[in-house]
Structure 1
Amino acid sequence: MRHIGLIGLGAMGLGMAQSLRRAGHHVHVHDVRAQACSAFAADGGNACASPAEVAAACDIVVSVVVNAAQTEQVLFGDNGAAAAMRPGSLFVMCSTVDPNWSAALEDRLAQQGLLYLDAPISGGAAKAASGQMTMMTAGRPQAYAKADGVLEAMAAKVYRLGDRAGNGSKVKIINQLLAGVHIAAAAEAMALGLREGVDAVALYEVITHSAGNSWMFENRMAHVLAGDYTPLSAVDIFVKDLGLVLDTARATKFPLPLSATAHQMFMQASAAGHGREDDSAVIKIFPGITLPGDGS
């Protein structure tokens, strides 16, 4: 039983904290939403008022925030974790970020005597809650030694992709390339079916039992059929993530035509006011269709 800190109780972070507690660890949490911390504490966790308070209680801190800017705030902002972490402590970064930024963060923390794992995650809220998600990790051997057993408490698959930070984030943005393109393609296919007057439920049933199916079609188009755009992963997440994909490729002049098109589709949905809706709301950019649950 170890004292593990987790910062960011969103769709993924809450499930990860629950998995750590289920594995027998003492879990100390912080989130900008005080009620999220209080709810976790009511079930047996430990609520902390700041990242620094989490870091002072733990020698492993897991960060599950949205992006690099929020990670910077967690570490180096007011009451940040970095200043409160003891030498030899480990910071596990689970956000989708620029791989070069992640590699640089490893060096910055090493200068303070801190260990670092580049450890983006995938699988969605349900897999996070059941401890069945995937972690794409890279870091120094000492960081893995410190994390022994902790990563496995949160994830069914923990891939070790290198002995320096960066490769975990590279593999994650490639995953996001596929995820974003698949969601955009699924939305386009469903939109065409609706425009052509095909019954949406019948179309979904046929495609999910045919060669054209994908995990994203099956998962996200179920949201469309339900008319439920509650954000498990928002449109703006793919504005960010596909932007990272394109930035990475642009640095070496590598063409990504499908990624660029999908990025523009998510940008269009965000510009139309759907940025905080579920990423399946990218289907709302298509004209002349009536979506399930939409009386218009």
Structure 2
Amino acid sequence: MNQNIGLIGLGAMGMGMAGSLRRAGYRVHVCDVRTEVAQAFAADGGVACATPSDVAQACEVLISVVVNAAQTEAVLFGEGGAAAALKPGSVFVMCSTVAPNWSIELEQRLAERNLLYLDAPISGGAARAASGEMTMMTAGRPDAYAKAGQVLDAMAGKVYRLGDRAGNGSKIKIINQLLAGVHIAAAAEAMALGLREGVDAAALYEVITHSAGNSWMFENRMEHVLAGDYTSRSAVDIFVKDLGLVLDTARASKFPLPLSATAHQMFMQASTAGHAHEDDSAVIKIFPGISLPAKG
């Protein structure tokens, strides 16, 4: 296999995805605003490119793993953007968490340039991205899948095909983020109450993770709190953004989301208190009158 694949955005997820593609035998062309990161990836096999346009000229499947819609716009249509350089019939795979209507519109904009599109948000965390076991929530036209389907399978353990037009991938990712954000906020509230009541934090963690009140987010994120380690795996500001998208989506149809709204306020409070770029478990720092475990 000697197919050229492009990937833009070598963050926690993108780096793992690029590595999975390389292991699958693809020649991976990469680009990141941090040129040293792209060059380090290429040193182990691959091609570092200076701009999205350079990646697009070499590839007919281009994967974007940037933070949000604004960055995706820059990748495609900004200076040195990919859209003008992609060959007709190429596939743009969009893996960011964005507003579903924006993703639907992007498919139409790219179709006007004779480009194919997959609405393909991702989930699972950096470790699963690195091992090729993450989840992709995808939607798009059959001809886009025909060209990029094997590429998706090389990056993910689960590739859900959710419709023949863009939109459903982003809608389901938004719902996933609703649950993830609410669960992190609830986990932080529970741990904070335990600390306030003088419960041993490690004992609380042990009991809850073996009881009905457990959640994946409690088990994963409260482990960070016990370690006193708020190094960002997924930052507080990610949930300021993503829960904001959740609420915007529901607001358009006047659908009430009281738990999402509360969790969003908690993450915004943590962000404005100076924890914007810390791990999202740092939302626990908004609770007064508790002493958090120190970093070991």
TM bracket, shorter-chain basis: over 0.9
In structure 2, distance between residues paired with 1:81 and 1:269: 36
Cα deviation, residue 35, structure 1: 1.1
Please tell me the residue identity of whatever aligns with 1:177. L
Q: Any residues of structure 2 matched to 1:33-72 within 5 Å, and which?
A: 33-72=34-73
Corresponding residue SS for 1:143: helix
In structure 1, distance between residues paired with 2:81 and 2:15: 20
Corresponding residue SS for 2:166: coil
Tell me the alpha carbon deviations over residues 191-213 of structure 1, each in whole angstroms, 9 at most, x when there is no partner.
00011111111110110011000
- Report the equivalent of 2:86: 85
TM-score, length of structure 2 as denominator length? 0.99
Cα deviation, residue 45, structure 1: 1.5
Conservation of the 8 A alpha-carbon contact between 2:188 and 2:284: yes
In structure 2, distance between residues paired with 1:178 and 1:143: 29
- Report the equivalent of 2:277: 276
In structure 1, distance between residues paired with 2:21 and 2:114: 25
In structure 2, distance between residues paired with 1:160 and 1:32: 31
Cα deviation, residue 122, structure 1: 0.1
- Report the equivalent of 1:231: 232
- Report the equivalent of 1:211: 212
Count how many residue pairs are aligned between Structure 1 and Structure 2. Answer: 295
Conservation of the 8 A alpha-carbon contact between 2:15 and 2:130: yes
- Report the equivalent of 1:263: 264
- Report the equivalent of 1:176: 177
Q: Unaligned stretches of 5+ in structure 2?
A: none
Conservation of the 8 A alpha-carbon contact between 2:229 and 2:295: no
Structure 1 residues 219, 72: CA separation in 2 closer, same or farther (over 3 Å shift)?
same
- Report the equivalent of 2:244: 243
Cα deviation, residue 38, structure 1: 1.1
In structure 2, distance between residues paired with 1:9 and 1:294: 28
In structure 2, distance between residues paired with 1:294 and 1:95: 32
Cα deviation, residue 42, structure 1: 1.1
Please tell me the residue identity of whatever aligns with 2:217. M
Corresponding residue SS for 1:138: strand
Conservation of the 8 A alpha-carbon contact between 2:227 and 2:295: no
Corresponding residue SS for 1:175: helix
In structure 2, distance between residues paired with 1:187 and 1:33: 33
Question: Which stretches of structure 1, 4 residues or longer, exceed 4 Å deviation after superposition?
Answer: none
- Report the equivalent of 1:3: 4
In structure 2, distance between residues paired with 1:153 and 1:48: 22
Q: Unaligned stretches of 5+ in structure 1?
A: none
- Report the equivalent of 2:286: 285
- Percentage of matched positions with identical amino acids: 82
Corresponding residue SS for 2:118: strand
- Report the equivalent of 2:99: 98
Please tell me the residue identity of whatever aligns with 1:130. S
Please tell me the residue identity of whatever aligns with 1:35. E
In structure 2, distance between residues paired with 1:182 and 1:243: 16
In structure 2, distance between residues paired with 1:85 and 1:71: 15
Tell me the alpha carbon deviations over residues 83-138 of structure 1, each in whole angstroms, 9 at most, x when there is no partner.
10000000000000000000000000000010000000000000000000000000
Q: Any residues of structure 2 matched to 1:143-162 within 5 Å, and which?
A: 143-162=144-163
Corresponding residue SS for 2:62: strand
Cα deviation, residue 294, structure 1: 6.6
Tell me the alpha carbon deviations over residues 268-288 of structure 1, each in whole angstroms, 9 at most, x when there is no partner.
000101011000000000001
In structure 2, distance between residues paired with 1:45 and 1:205: 43
Corresponding residue SS for 1:12: helix
Please tell me the residue identity of whatever aligns with 2:60. D
Please tell me the residue identity of whatever aligns with 1:185. A
Corresponding residue SS for 1:127: helix
Cα deviation, residue 148, structure 1: 2.5
In structure 2, distance between residues paired with 1:37 and 1:200: 40
Tell me the alpha carbon deviations over residues 38-85 of structure 1, each in whole angstroms, 9 at most, x when there is no partner.
110111121000000000010000000000000000000000000100
Corresponding residue SS for 1:6: strand
Q: Any residues of structure 2 matched to 1:119-158 within 5 Å, and which?
A: 119-158=120-159
Corresponding residue SS for 2:83: helix
